[in-house]
Every structure is written in structure tokens, then in C-alpha cells.
Structure 1
Amino acid sequence: MQQMQSASLHNSTRRTTNTKFNPNQRPNQVNHLASQKKISRINSSLLLLLPVTLRHRNIYLKVYAFLDTGSTNSYISQPTAAYIQLEETNHQEQLLIGGFFNSQTIEAKTVDFTVQSFGKNTLAFELTNVLIKENFNLNAAEPEKLNDICSQYDHLKDICFPDFSNNDVALVIGTDNIDIISAKTIIKGNQNVPRAVLTALGWTIAGPNNDIGYFSSHQATATPIQISTDDTQILDVLASIWRMETYATSPEITMSSDEIHAMQTLRKTISLYDNRYQLGLLWKPNANLPNNYKAAIAQYNRMKIQLTKNSEKLALYQNTIEQDLSKHYIGKLEPDEIPSTGWMLPEHGVINPNKPGKLRRVSNAKSKFKGVCLNDMLFTGPDLLYNLLGVITRFRKGKHPITAGIEGRYMQVSVKPEERKFLRFLWGAVEPEFFEYTRFVFGAKCSPTCAIYALRTCADDNAESHPHIKKLVYENFYMDDIFEATDDIDTAVKIIEDLRHVLKQGSFNLTKWITTDHRILQTIPEEHRSITIDEIKDPKIFKRILGMEYDGE
């Protein structure tokens, strides 16, 4: 819910046309709203999103709907319309869509279908002339997070979001269906906190969410780019794109003063201890955190009440604690080891509907106390990722593709002992006990940069004996995955052997190996393979690589 509604959905003016739609006919000049990675920080708010059921004939689909009072029309995403087999009406629309920065003329087709409230005692509404849009850049939050928010406010305690595996927003209902999106009842709490809103499609929550921490930052903008039939303008746009694509391959990368400060911390604090790299957190100058123990106790009590209502989830949560203790990812503290200073990380358990019986414990480094959180005190650090286009291009150069991932990447890098007090949390099925992370945690702002820096340092330290592995680590890793391709089997086997050997010097374990040749796969221990020898015959074993479809043939 931290996404900002697309400006292109607002202020549209309909121009009804009775002529047959000609896809090749377009205005002489078209203004496009192009998304760019330009960060704009604003306060986080929960939008009016709620789960609904779409119905067409005998096909039902559960999706999230956005009730948008700022949109004059209703929209459905094209993939959703295709999935429930909606038939386009004869009604054709030519829309002049106006946003905050620009306007855009598009041809749009319309569909009719039924939307139902989610759960028992459903109410159904017919939606007509709903416009088909390619997709929405909007996602709802996980029900677990929404329910956790509701549990923290008395006026929201009766609101419960159902388990819902798909959090993509597929429907926008605008003011052309005002009776559906209008608030029938609003339950308010204090100022600047979420409120409960009852609509014709059921209850949801909306409003400021600045003190919870799940959505404490917001990144979304649209930047207008004009594309016309003027060849000069087109060439200018292409030149800017090419400059952007070659940025990560430039030998000289300009860093901000904050990134320089973070890089100095990385170089100063890294060390190899007991076959594992150790780093300090990337603190901002004059960083200071209050003691948030009282807030942590309150959050722990709420979480324990929730878990005791679900014995299966409680057992899974306790199991993650025991596993992390056995792997030395966390340590349990005795009362005499607990200093008066430090920071407590709120935690909660998340179950992926696609992985039943598996729970992931999540630390919330954005949770605020007295107006600050852990991430407020940390630098992100410099971007050490290699250019994505280069990684993909090199992966396509050979006949034998190879991929693998580092097991628990963040958990393989240690935090300096004197700084672990800022990564503490509470747990205990009966009474609260103190634990602290000994490794970098998922969610801490600096964890990605620290993990990449430790991995590269491992390659640097072994570069004299394995220079080719250093090159691979720098150029063929993206996040925690390696992507390589060779033209012959012997080279692939040698690369796998050397890569596993070098990274083992820093306790980085490569696992979930995939390749397309059984002779390569046989050299990898079975427990580290992602596929079997039989599955390797399937040319579609590489389904998606870095978000792209990959054809193994």
C-alpha cells in the first residue's frame, strides 16, 4: 500500500467514437508519462484497497480493488480481463488522460462484469464500461501486516483481513461507480492514525501510517517525457538511455558524501574472523537511538496473543528460533548481559501461501519509537551492484548456462560484537527472553551493501590464486545469485569447483544449482542442486531469469 496511485488514471475526458478502432491511427504528437527511478519521500498512507471477487459467467477470481475517488473512470488490468475471459463490448473510448504533469490520448476498450464483496454475506454489483488498462503499478500489503496494524489500535481491533495470496491490484473503481466506493461508516481513532472505512464492498483501513514502520518511506514519481515525430528529440532520448545503461560499467563512479562516508566504514571495519567476514553497521554521524524496551514489550505481548490462537503457527515460529540458534544466526542473552542501551527490533512471522508449512521471521527496522527507527540512523551505502544489462548479456553468451544462489546471504556476514545490541528482539512462549542477531538482518538499510562488500572482499582476498573467480564475483553476481554460461563442459565444471572453493573461504555457501547438462550437474552434491538429473531433460527448467522469460532450447 505504499504505492502512489498512478496519475494517468485521473482526470480523463471521454471522447466516444463510433468509428472502427484503427490501431495504426495516432495523433501527430503523443505525451507519455514515463516512470523513472527518481525518489520522492513523502509521508506514508494506507490507500482504500480491499479484497474483492470478480465474476464473469462461471469464472471467479480474487483480487485487490482500489477505491479511487480521484479517478473519474473505472479500470481493470488487461491480464485480469483475459484471465476471467471478459468479452470486449462494442463501446469504444478515446481518452484524454490528464495527470499531474502531462496528458495522454489513448484508445481504450471496455468490458462488463460483476464485482462481489469478499467473504460471507456477499453483495454483488454490475460494473459496465470498465476500461482495460495494461497494468497498474500498485500493490496491497500482506494481510499479516494489515492485521498487525489493526491489532495495535482499539478502534481497528474488529477489522480482520483474510489470507490472500495475490496482492496485485487488478481493479480500480472510480467515481463513475460512486455508490460502491463511498464511505458508509467511518470509525476514527486519534489524529494521524489509520481509520476504519465501511464501503459497499466491505471494511478496509485508510489514512496516515507514519508510526507503524511497515510503510515509513514512500518512493514513487512520474516524470513526463515528450516523444514526438521529431527525429532530433528521439535521438536525444536514446542518447540519455545509453548514457544511463553504461553508467554501471564506467571505471569512475561518482559517490555522494554519504556514500563516501559509508565506504570508509566498510573499509575500516571489515575483518575475517573464524572463517567469516565481520563488518560494522553503516552509522550516520551522531547517530543516537533511545531505549525502546517498553514499546518492544508491548509489541511482543500482542504478537504472543496472536500466536497462541494458532498452535501451528506458534510451533513454526518457535522452530525458526531454534534453527537460528543452532546456526548461530542469533544468540540468547542472560539477564546480566543486557546493557541499558541498545535497540529492540519488532518481529513477526510471515507464511507464504505458496509454501505451506514454512514460516519466515521478519525484523522491522523501520518501526519508530519517539520519532526515530534503526534505519533512520543508518546509511544505505554505495550501490555495488553490477549493471543488470551486462549480467543478462553475459549469461546468454555460452551454450551451458549455470545459476546458483548464496544460502542466507545476509546471515553469512557477521556484525561486529559491540554493535549487536542494536539488533535485539524479544521472544518466549511463556515469558519474554532477550535475543540478539549476530549477523546482518533482512530489512536493515545497510544489509545489502554490507553483504555485497563482504562477498567481493572474499574474492579480492583470493584473487592471486583465482583471478577468474574475482572477475565472476564482480561481474556475474546480481544480489545473491550467480549467472554464468560457458561453451564447454570442462570449463563449467572448473568454474563451479573454483567458485565453491573460493566463496567457502568466507563461509558463503552456493546452493540451488541449475544447469542444462547432466554431466555438469553430476559434479555438484545432490543437497545443493535445485533440480534432479531427470528434470534436467526439461528445456523449460530455466523459467524466469532476473525477471525475464528464458528459453533453454
Structure 2
Amino acid sequence: MFTAVYIKSKRLSTVEKLYQLNKKTQGETKVIVSKCPLTNDGFALAWKGLTDMYENERILVETQVDILLDLPSIDKECSSSIKWLQREINSCISCLTANKVDIGNWDPIIIRWEELDNFLTDRYRDLEAIERAKKSSNSAKPVSAPTPNKYTYQNNSHQNRLSAFQVSVEKSTCLMCKSADHKLRSCPMFLNMAPADRIKFAKRNNRCINCLGFGHLVSQCTSAFNCSTCHARHHTLLHVRTVQPSSQRGSSTPSDEIPSTSRQAQQRRNFNKSKGKPTTQVQSCFANSDKGVLLGTAQININYSGVTYAARALIDSGSECSFITERLKRRINLPVRRINAQVSGINNTVSAQVKEACCVELRSPIDPLISITTNMMVLPKLTGNLPTFHISALTRQAFPDLTLADKRFFVNEPVDVILGGDVHSQIMLDGIRKNALGSLLAQETVFGWIVTGRANTIKPTNTCVSYYNEISLEKQLASFWELEEISKENKLSEEDRYCEELYKETTKRNEDGKYVVSLPFRKDYPVNISLGSSLKIAYSQFYRNEARLSRDENLQKEYNRVLNEYVELGHMAKIYTNQTADSSNNYYLPHHAVKKEESTSTKVRVVFNASQATSNGTSLNDILLPGPVLQADLTILILRWRLFKYVFNSDIEKMYRQIQYF
């Protein structure tokens, strides 16, 4: 409106526009405008300052996405609530569209929202009709109508049924003396009791032994306060001085002292019985320890498109590669490439399947000149929140003179990045501090100092691992329909469309009838992607293959026969290397033999490895587009077979060697 009324006005000079802008702003915006001189040149400075501050498209888009994802749930079904929810979501989508966000790629989300949008429209219209009907029926009743008696309600079945819900709030009273002036923790009668008797009273009345509240156990207590005497997880009023066992008395512990993990389990069973609910049989494993192991965490920066994003990383030299969470990848909007890899852990068991990888540029918060580029695999979740225990204040202050890489290393927070052995040598520096507090180790990195080792905890760590399996009929039914549903035709991506158009424009047939096609190089090759030298690597693979063949005479003869066939058919020709042969313009495919005894046609075949990396880590497959999937879906193919009496299967002999490339 200011642009329409003042800026585009031909009657006002620039200094008058600045004067009006100064009058129309307030708060932070007025501070920006008031700092500019009241001259003709000052208006441009003030307007630029406002646009730089408030017209940040990334912040506007992220704000709308946050609003969209953080919409509160509707607790009551009514027309106004449904219309509000529908209006908020449509408003966010409209704002994203206005900010030139391409929501055309959100097909799974937008299509589902369109269906939900239509449902919400029908729903709130129905509710409005019901509400209007209720209002009209209430207004139609005569004011002087006599009050019906109980017989009227019994005999007239068409009368409206009314349901009344009474809500009463009872004032909090002391559990022991029933006084409304104080709570249990301040009750004089409770304070005069011995700690052991207080514990009995709290357990008898199903009270939490940490906050003295009702309705939950100590394991579920959200209070941040512990015992001020021993820092254990119980109330200070319930602290019992621990009696050190002697050799004459044995090691028995009075049952009235602070409950152990097993006593907490007994308290949980008593609590469930008091509520009249059957207890769930869950097999649990318990472990007690007064020390926990600190893992090295660091606050790092990730740079992408000129924007810096902060993340918390775990430095793990035991990992062969680096990882990033899918949540952080989506937040940064990192471009990914498709891969198929398995992540294995202890006992060589497969713990995750990796389908995406991305290139990440790491920056140091303390040294902006440091930049490390590495490839990371994308997983939904990397690990639990670290650390998994409460760290004592003594451990937090173990290295007061060092710049820590993670100043909040003692706070239980999530980890979004794992930096593995592929970048470990680039991260670690020479500094090291040993034997702090007897077991801690500090190591210097490019992000600061990381702290590792066994650390003292505030209280004994009670770790409960439960094994519980729930079979949901709804999930089973959903899985059934997902398996039985025939997949819909996938839309081509931008790279697949580019690959299709490239083949349409460049594919031709020569005089022999063979197809001649161009290799589908990526758009950023060779400007942003380059191939390294590959001749030495191909030589090494060749020598290893020859050594393997020399140990199997029959395999060597068959392999040589296949290669001679290549020469006779014109599929292979001898070349002479020169000084420029091992350049980025040439790529030599390593090859090896694959033996298949059960094959009836070709028992030995040659396999070419286009995924072999060159000297700079790039392979031929990395710079080529895979193109769309051409094969029909297996389910559709099998269903199609059922429509015909006969099915023929054929094969094009040596098909890939019949196609020429340029």
C-alpha cells in the first residue's frame, strides 16, 4: 500500500516519501528509517534497509512451512474449527505460491490435501446445517409452554434429548491433614515423621517419590529437581542416610531406604492394581552403573548456496563413512543422488538400507577459512539423543581453559550428523589433554576441543530395555493394500525428461542398420564435474584379472575365446597409448570374468565396471544420467500374461555391443 500510495505518486519528491515513511513506521522499522538522513538520497537507503530486513524469501517460506507443520489439532468438531483449519492451510499454500515456491513437485501432498480440502468443505457445511437446525428448533419453542413432567418425557419419544456435562474443580488439600492451606511437602505432621515413614506413606498413597505428585511414577516424573543431599531421583524429604554395611552385619539393605529399580517395578505393579487395570507383561533388562561414557560431539556449520546452517555432529572414527539425517537434509534442501548401500554394525548385521547420498560442505564455527567437502549418506535417524545420562557439574568444568567444540556437550540433545573415518584425518589437530578427572580425554579439532571418556553421573544410571511387540490390525490391513495395489505410472523427473529428449534428438541408424546414440552426460559435465585419470586403475584391474585366470586354465581359455570373438565381430579393437591417453577425456573400463556353470549358452562372460572411480573419485556412471525405468512393473507384467493363451520370451544377442556411442 505504501508503494501504491506514495512511491508511485508523481507529486511527491523522494525526501517527502522518506518523511511519509518515517511517519508510517514504528518500533524496529522506525529505528531503521530514522537512521537515514532526511534527504533525497536517504529514502533509497531506508527502503533498501527495510527490504533487506523483511523481504527475505527464505525466511518467509520457512515461516509458512513452520506454520503449516505446527498447526494445532482440533479438539472439538464444529464448523468454525474446521473452517479455521481449512483457511489456515490454504493460506499457507497461497503464500508459498506467492513466494514462487514450486509446489508442483509436492504431488503426493497436494493431491491428498485437495481430497481432504473437499472433505472438510462438505463436513463444515453439514455441521453448519445441523447447527442452524438446532437453533431453529430452539427458537420455535413457545416461551409460555408449560414445563413437562416426567410422564411427558416418557410418553413423548420425539422430545429432544439433552445431555449435561458437569465439571467441578476441587481445591487442593493436604493428603495427610486434609488442610487446604498447605501441600503435603509443607505439612507439619508429615515433616515430623521419620524419612522411612514418609516413604511408606508416599508409597501407600501411590505418590511419586520424587515430586510427591499423584498419577505417575518416578520414572515418568518430569520434575527437574532431585534430592539436594545425594542428587538421586527422590524427594529431599525422603532421603535416608545410607548405612555402610560391615563385615559383621553383612550387606543387607533396609527395605525402607530409597527403592531400587526392582522396588520401582513393584511400585508400578501396585499402582496398576490400585487403578483396577491388568498389568502388561513386559520382559525387561536392567543395568546399574555410576559412570557413563561421553562421546565426542561438536557444533558444526554446513554451507549451501551461500547460507550457513548449524548442526550437532558426532565424531566417530569407527565409522567408515559420514551420515546425515533426512530431517536436516530436507531443511537445507540438499541435492541428492540415488544409491543402494547397506550399513552393517556389530556382528556384521545389516542395520540400515541407504538409498540417498549428498555432497556436504563443512565449515568451522571458530575458523571461517576451514572448508571440508565430503559425501554423506542419508538416513532417517542416526542415533539417540546424546549424552544418555546426567553429567555432574565437576565433569562440565573439567576443561575451563579450552574452547569446546560443543559447549552443550552435557545436554541431552539429538545428533544430525556423524563424521566418520573418511574426514577424521581432516578434522583432528595435534592438541590433546589426558587423564582429566582420571578418565576424561580432550582432543583438539577444527571445530574446537571434544571431550570423550568415562564421566561421573549425577546419579546411578538405571537403564531399562523393554521388549514389546504390538500387532495392529490397522497396520496389517494397510500393508496388505499397499502390497496388492497396482503401482501408478510415475511422472518423469527433470533429469529423466532431459535424458528422453537427448535420445530423441541424437539417436540415429547407420548404413549397417545399427543404432548410434550419444552418451547421456549430465548437464554440469564437464564444467562442474571432471573425470580423473583411469588408465593406471584399468591396468591394475587387468593384471589382477590375468593373475586370477592363470590359476584356472579352463577359465583362461574360455575368457580368451570370448575376447577373440569381440575382435572378430568388430566389437573390440587394439589401441596404442600415448602421452595424452591418460587424460580426463578418456575413460578406461576395467573388466573381469564371471563364470556361471549352470548357464546353457554363455558360461563365461565379460563384465565391465563403469562404477570404478578414477584418480579424483569420479566414475563414468557418476557423470551419466541413468534415465527413466523402461521395464514394465512385474505385477502388471504377470497380470498381462493372464489375458493371453500364449506368452513368448525373446532375447537380443549381444544387444549392448550392437549399439554404437558417440
Instruction: Report TM bin, short chain.
Output: 0.3 to 0.5
Greater strand proportion: 1
TM-score (normalizing by structure 1): 0.32
Greater helix proportion: 2
Whichever of the two has the greater Rg, that structure is 2
TM-score (normalizing by structure 2): 0.27
